[in-house]
Amino acid sequence: MNNSRLLSIIEFVFPVKKKELGKFCLLSILMFGILYIHATLRSLKDTIIVPNIGAEALSFIDLYLVLPCAVLFTLAYTKLTNIIPSDRIFYFIKLMFLVIFSVFLLFVYPNTHILHPDPDNIDMLIATYPKLKWWLKLYGKWTYAIFAVVVELWGPIVTVLSFWQFANKVTSSEEAKRIYPTLALLGNFALVMAGSVIKVSAKYTENVIEFNLAIIVFMILLNMTTYFISNKLLEVDNSKTAPKTNLSVFKSLKIILSSKYLLYIFGMVLAYGMINNMIEVQWKANIRQLYPEQNNYAKFMGSFTQYMGYASIVIMMFGSHILRKFSWYAAAITTPIVVIMTSVFFFLSLIFKDSIEPYAQSIFHVNATQFIVGLGMCQIILMKASKYGLFDPTKEMAFIAADEEIKTKGKAAVDVVGMRLSDTTAALIQSILLIFFQTALIAGMTFSVMVIVYLILIMWVTSVKKLNRIYSKIAKNGHSHH
């Protein structure tokens, strides 16, 4: 194998140039830290909420606690950006999280037995007011609910806003082409690493939560230090601030409704988010049956995070080739088709849980719950991997083809409302079902959830088809019409 051939392979896998290496290293340490913390926090949140309160509580937390807090936080953030220079904001937000997690680690979590009301009283209240069951359960473990809210705020605020804003200021668009895809790939190694640490700590320590929170506090400090060093060493182009898109949810919806093209993109985003949310809650309720004990649950979440990382790495490596080989439509329709095919098996095995028991035993040597949890895990990994590899890039391509207005305002609107609204709507549907179905357990809702998921899938496929008609016209003519 001659030298130039080897070099071209290295360039294909790692396109970053020699003079960009310093910048690349600093950005990747930042990215790795932020995603490591994000992945660990997600697992810890589930490990605290699901075994102690129940997977059903996740919908209530999303809707009635996370949503109002996220709105307040975004408002506060916008106010801050007008008062404080952007590099200070980064420290300010990180410090805030650092303080909250340290307090939780040192004072709150070790003393929950003092802070939480007496469980017997809660059970009595639930017996008296069955319709308020989930509210009372959350009140009974209120510190965990607050922790869950803080974790949910970490994701969008810290990762998306502050990291990419900083990255855009220090990289030219020419460098970005080489640096960003490689960064994204590295980011997935953070998932693998976070999963491994959770797994090992769940195996060898009793205090999996404390151990991982301590690491998170350390990682936040490391992150702030890296950021400080990057600001000193790299040329920060402060003229390149992100265009101020202070879009309220209401304004965003108005923008989306003004254009068919945007409405279809929004339909895709909404469909993916809602289905993902509803299937995950069903799945987590079964994991709880399998691993009611916190450490075992954490170990499982660790493995899941690891596999998720590996799958995303594989998809990212091949995703771009799929996009080059096939049409936009083929790539865009793949994710809903993957969901349709995998969710059929998942829902049917949930509904006919008792009937599949003998088959699960004889063929896979597992019980029905283990089979469902395994199946759910495969489905969610396939779904998320096809989202990263195909769904996200096709969505970006649709924006790139559009006119300037849609590119900037439309994209911001879909980003603001898309994921937020899909989680909220899914949580709303599920919490209504929970309050009305007095069984108040996820199992009783499975059939209703399945029907709703298939209705959403119809909307998704329709959106892709209609969007494709407009998109292929634009791609031919080179400009867009509303």
Answer for the pair 265, 398: CB distance below 8 angstroms, yes or no.
yes
Identical fold for domains 18-237 and 247-477, yes or no, is: yes
pTM here is: 0.82
455 — phi, psi (to 5°)?
A: -65, -45
Question: What confidence tier does 473 reach under pLDDT thresholds 50, 70, 90?
Answer: confident
pLDDT of 31 higher than 80: yes
Q: Which residues contact 89 (CB under 8 A, 6 or more apart)?
A: 77, 80, 81, 162
Rounded to whole angstroms, how far apart are CA atoms 171 and 86? Answer: 17
Q: What is the pLDDT of residue 154?
A: 81
213 — phi, psi (to 5°)?
A: -65, -40
Question: What confidence tier does 446 reach under pLDDT thresholds 50, 70, 90?
Answer: confident
Burial of 33 (0-12, 13-18, 19+ CB in 10 A): buried
Alpha helices in 291-410 (DSSP H): 294-325, 328-351, 353-359, 368-386, 392-401, 404-405
Q: What is the pLDDT of residue 388?
A: 79
Rounded to whole angstroms, how far apart are CA atoms 406 and 470? Answer: 14
List the one residue out of 384, 385, 386, 394 whose CA is nearest residue 323: 394
pLDDT of 451 higher than 70: yes
Q: For 100-157, what is each residue's pLDDT tens digit? A: 999 999 999 999 999 999 999 999 998 998 888 888 999 999 999 999 999 988 876 6
Rounded to whole angstroms, how far apart are CA atoms 109 and 143? Answer: 8
| 423-452 average pLDDT score | 79
The mean of the pLDDT values for the chain is: 85
Q: For 256-268, what is each residue's pLDDT tens digit? A: 888 899 999 999 9
| 286-294 average pLDDT score | 92
Count other Cβ atoms within 10 Å, centred on residue 264: 21
Q: At residue 416, what is the residue type?
A: V
Q: At residue 176, what is the residue type?
A: A
247-477 under CATH 3.50.50.60, yes or no: no
Count other Cβ atoms within 10 Å, centred on residue 349: 19
Tokens representing 222 are 């490391």
pLDDT of 74 higher than 80: no
Q: What is the pLDDT of residue 208?
A: 92
Tokens representing 65 are 């606690």
Q: For 381-437, what is each residue's pLDDT tens digit? A: 999 888 877 888 888 888 877 777 777 777 777 876 777 788 888 988 888 887 777
Domain ranges of the chain: 18-237, 247-477
Burial of 37 (0-12, 13-18, 19+ CB in 10 A): buried
Rounded to whole angstroms, how far apart are CA atoms 212 and 39? Answer: 11
Q: What is the pLDDT of residue 246?
A: 59
Range 200-204, long-range pairs (CB < 8 A, 24+ positions): 200/302, 201/298, 202/295, 202/296, 202/298, 202/299, 202/302, 203/299
The architecture of the domain spanning 18-237 is Up-down Bundle (1.20)
∠ Cα 197 203 207 (to 5°): 80
* 3-state helix vs strand vs coil in the chain, percent to 5: 90, 0, 10
Q: For 208-241, what is each residue's pLDDT tens digit? A: 999 999 999 999 999 899 988 988 888 776 665 5
Q: What is the pLDDT of residue 34?
A: 87
Comparison of pLDDT for 376 and 134, the residue scoring more:
376
